[in-house]
A and B are shown apart, each in its own frame.
Chain A
Amino acid sequence: MKFVLDGDQLDFAGALDSLLANADTVAVARAWADGDHEPGLKLWGRLAEMGVTSLADEPVFLVLAFERLGYHAVPGPWVESVAYLGRADGIATVALPPHVPYALDADVADEVYAGSARAAEVGDPVGSVDRARRLFRVTGEGATDEAAFDRAVLATSAQLLGAGERILTDSVTYVKQRRQFGREIGSYQAIKHQLADVRIALDFARPLVLGAALGEVPVSAAKIACADAAYRSSRTGLQVHGAIGYTQEFDLSIWLTKVRALVTAWGTPAYHRQQVLEGLV
C-alpha cells in the first residue's frame, strides 16, 4: 500500500513542468489557434524527446504528463495521437463517432483515422469553443478500440485536472492582487469559500485519476470527477476575475475555453455516468 507518487514519477512531472514553464506555452497556444503550427510542432518534438509520446503503456506516467499538458495548455492532438493511437513517432489523429465526432487538428496529422481505418476524406475545419482545438469532419468507418478509448478518457481526465489546477492557481494570484473597498478581494469570505470549494473538488478528483490509472476504479469515474472539478474551477475563476476574465486577450480565456471543450470530449458526462452505472447494477 503506497498511494503516493514515487521519486521517478515526481521527477518526470517536475522535468516536464520546467520545460513547459519556460516554453511560453500561452504564445504557442495562441499561434496554434491562429493557424501557425510551427511553435506547437517544435514543442511536440521536445516533449517527444522527453518520452511523452511513448507513454501509452505507462498509465501513471501518462496521467502525470497529461496533467502537465493541461496545466500549460499545450495545443495539439495529444490524446488522439499518444493515448488513443499510441503513436510514439509522428502525429496522428482520429474521429470516433458518436463520442468523438471530429478529428482534432487533422491538418497537422501525418495520418487521420476514422475509427480503425484511415479516413477516406478530411473535410473543412469546424470552429470549437477552444480556438486552439481545430476540429475536422472526416468520412470513413472503423471500429473503436475499447482499451485505447479508456486510455484516451484517462488522458483527457488528467488534462482537465491540470487545466482546473491552473485556473485555480491564477485565480488565487489574482484575488491576492486585486483590491476593492480598500482590501484584497481574496480576503472576503464570498471569494474564499468559492475558491476553497475548487481546491476540495480538485483534491478529490486527483486520487480517482491515479486510481483509474492503477485499474482500481473505472476511467469514467475519473472523467466525471475531473470534468466537474475543472468546470467548477473555470466558472469560479471567471467569476472572481470579473470582466477582465471575460476577454479573449487575458490568458485565462485559454483555459476557460479548453475546459468547456474537454468536458464533453471523449464521452460526455452523461455517457460516462451511464458507463459507471452499468458497471454497478
Chain B
Amino acid sequence: MDLDLTESESAFRDEARAWLAANVPSEPLPSMDTADGFVAHQEWEQRLADARWAVVSWPEEYHGRGASLVEWVIFEEEYYRAGAPGRVSQNGIFLLSPILFDHGTKEQQDRFLPSMATGEKIWAQCWSEPEAGSDLASLRSTAARDDERGGWVLNGQKTWSSRATYAHWGFGLFRSDPEAERHNGLTYFLFPLDAEGVTVRPIAQLDGEAGFAEVFFDDVFVPDADVLGDPGDGWRVAMSTAGNERGLSLRSPGRFCAAADRLVDLYRERVSTGSTTGADADGVVDAWIKAQAYRLYTWGTVTKLAGGGDIGAAGSVNKVFWSELDIALHETALDLLGPEAEVESRWLDGYTFALSGPIYAGTNEIQRNIVAERILGLPREVRK
C-alpha cells in the first residue's frame, strides 16, 4: 500500500505543471454561459488540444496522450491547482466520449471525437423532460422510424440541457418503441442543435446566465449514422454516462483540493486583517479534511479500476459526498467574507454553481436510494 508516483508519473506531473503555469490565462475568462465567454472557452480548449492536454486519457490518434487513470487524476489536480478555466467541453469529453469509445462505431468516433477534443464542437446533454426528471425512464419524447430516408424522426421536448444555449450538438434518449415501457424501447441519439425542427430556448439560471436551455423537437430527422448503440438499447448505453457523471470523471479531487487550499488562504487573510475572530475555523478545517478524504478515496477507486474493478453503485456514494462538500466549502468562504459575501466574487460564483450539485447528475435523494438499495441491500421502494 503506497501513494508514491512512478518516475514517469512524476515527469508527467512536472510537464503538466510547467505547461499550465506558462499558459493559464492570468485573468479569469468571462462566464462560459455568455456569448463571448463561450467563444473564449472554446479558444482555451483549442490551446489545450494543440498541446495535447485537452483529453489526456484519450488515444493519441484523437489528440490524447493515452494517459493512465493515475495520470488523468494527476493532470486534473494540476489543472485546478493552476486555477485554469472551467471546461466548456465537459459534457462531450467526460460524459459522451466514454460511450462513443464503448458503443460508437469507428466512423462515429472518427467523425465526432477530434472536434470534441479541440472544442470546435461543443456538446449539450439532453436528458430531462418537463415530466421526466428523477424518473428519467418515464420520458415521452419520441423517435419514429423513417425507412425511406434511413433514419428516425424526433419529436418532443427536453429541458435543463446544460450548455445547450451555445452548443453545436446534443445527445439524449428518445422513445423509439411506443409499445415498450420505461427502460425498454429507448434509443440514444446524437443530433446537431441547428438541425431543421430544433428550437433552443435559453433558461436563465440562478445567477442570471443561460447555463441550460429547453430544446424542442418538431419532426427532426436523424440519420441511422447518428444513433449511438443499437436502437432500443438506449437505456443501457446511457447508464454508462450516468456512472461517469456521478463518479470520477466529472468531479476529480483536484477541484476540491484546490478550492480547500484557497479557502485556507482566505481564512489566513481574514485573520491577518482582523476580519474574522476565528469562529469560522471549524468550517475551514472540515472542508480541508473532506477534500483530503475525497482525494484519498479517489486514489482507492483509481487503484481498484486499474485492477479491473468497477465503480458500480459507489459512484452514488461519491456524488453525495462531493456535492455536499462543494456547498459546505463555499458556505464557509461566504461566512468568512462576512457582509461582503453578497458582493459578486469568484467565491459567490462557486457557491451558486455548487448549489446545483445535489440536483444534477441524479438528485442526492436518488443517490441515497441507490446507496441504500444496492450497497446496503435494503428493500426496494415500491415504484409505479
Residues of A within 8 A of B (CB): 1-6, 9, 60, 168, 172, 175-176, 183-184, 186-187, 189, 191-193, 195-197, 199-200, 203-205, 207-208, 210-211, 214, 216-217, 221, 224-225, 273, 276-277, 280-281
Contacts and interface: CB of A to CB of B under 8 A. Distances in A.
A189 B381 contact: yes
B264 A196 contact: no
Contacts of B376: 168, 172, 192, 195-196, 199
B372 A3 contact: no
Contacts of B94: none
B380 A221 contact: no
Interface pairs A-B: 7 shortest CB-CB: A207-B296, A192-B372, A196-B371, A3-B299, A196-B368, A187-B379, A186-B378
Range of interface residues on chain B?
A: 35 or more
19 contacts: A1-B2, A2-B2, A4-B307, A168-B376, A187-B379, A187-B382, A192-B369, A192-B372, A192-B378, A196-B376, A204-B294, A204-B297, A204-B321, A214-B3, A221-B293, A224-B289, A273-B281, A280-B264, A280-B288
Contacts of B365: 189, 193
Interface in B295-325: 296-297, 299-300, 302-304, 307, 314, 317, 320-321
Given A200-B317, A200-B321, A214-B2, A1 B378 contact: no
A193 B1 CA distance: 33
A60 B2 CA distance: 11
A181 to B, nearest CB: 12
Contacts of B297: 203-204, 207
Contact of A3 (B1, B292, B367, B379): B1
Given A200-B371, A205-B293, A277 B1 contact: no
Chain B interface mostly helix, strand, loop or mixed?
helix
B9 A186 contact: no
A1 B300 contact: no
B279 to A, nearest CB: 12
Given A3-B303, A196-B368, A200-B317, A276 B264 contact: no
B127 interface: no
A211 B378 contact: no
Nearest to A215: B3
Nearest to B378: A186
Contact of A193 (B9, B294, B368): B368
Contacts of B339: none
A204 B290 contact: yes
Interface of B: 1-6, 9, 70, 264, 267-268, 271, 281-282, 284-286, 288-290, 292-294, 296-297, 299-300, 302-304, 307, 314, 317, 320-321, 365, 367-369, 371-373, 375-382
Contact of B373 (A3, A183, A192): A192
Given A4-B304, A192-B372, A199-B317, A172 B378 contact: yes
Contacts of A5: 1
A69 B377 CA distance: 25
A235 to B, nearest CB: 17
B372 A225 contact: no
Nearest to B4: A1
Contacts of B289: 208, 217, 221, 224-225, 276
B300 to A, nearest CB: 5
Given A1-B299, A2-B1, A195-B378, 13 more contacts: A1-B5, A3-B296, A6-B1, A9-B1, A186-B379, A189-B368, A192-B373, A196-B375, A208-B292, A208-B293, A210-B1, A276-B289, A280-B285
Contacts of B9: 1
B300 A4 contact: yes
B283 to A, nearest CB: 10
A5 B271 CA distance: 41
B74 to A, nearest CB: 9
Contacts of A2: 1-2, 303
Contacts of B300: 3-4, 207
Contacts of B299: 1, 3, 207
A5 B307 CA distance: 13
Nearest to B68: A1
Contact of A211 (B267, B282, B296, B369): B296
A225 B365 CA distance: 23
Contacts of A3: 1-3, 296, 299-300, 302-303
B217 to A, nearest CB: 34
Contact of A172 (B5, B286, B293, B377): B377
A25 to B, nearest CB: 23
A195 B1 CA distance: 30
Nearest to B376: A172
A203 B317 contact: yes
Of the candidates A168, A199, A225, the one having the most CB atoms from chain B within 10 angstroms of its own CB is A199
A277 B284 contact: yes
Contact of B3 (A175, A195, A216, A225): A216
B304 to A, nearest CB: 6
Nearest to A207: B296
Nearest to B73: A1
Contact of A208 (B268, B296, B372, B380): B296
Contacts of A172: 376-378
Contacts of A186: 372, 378-379
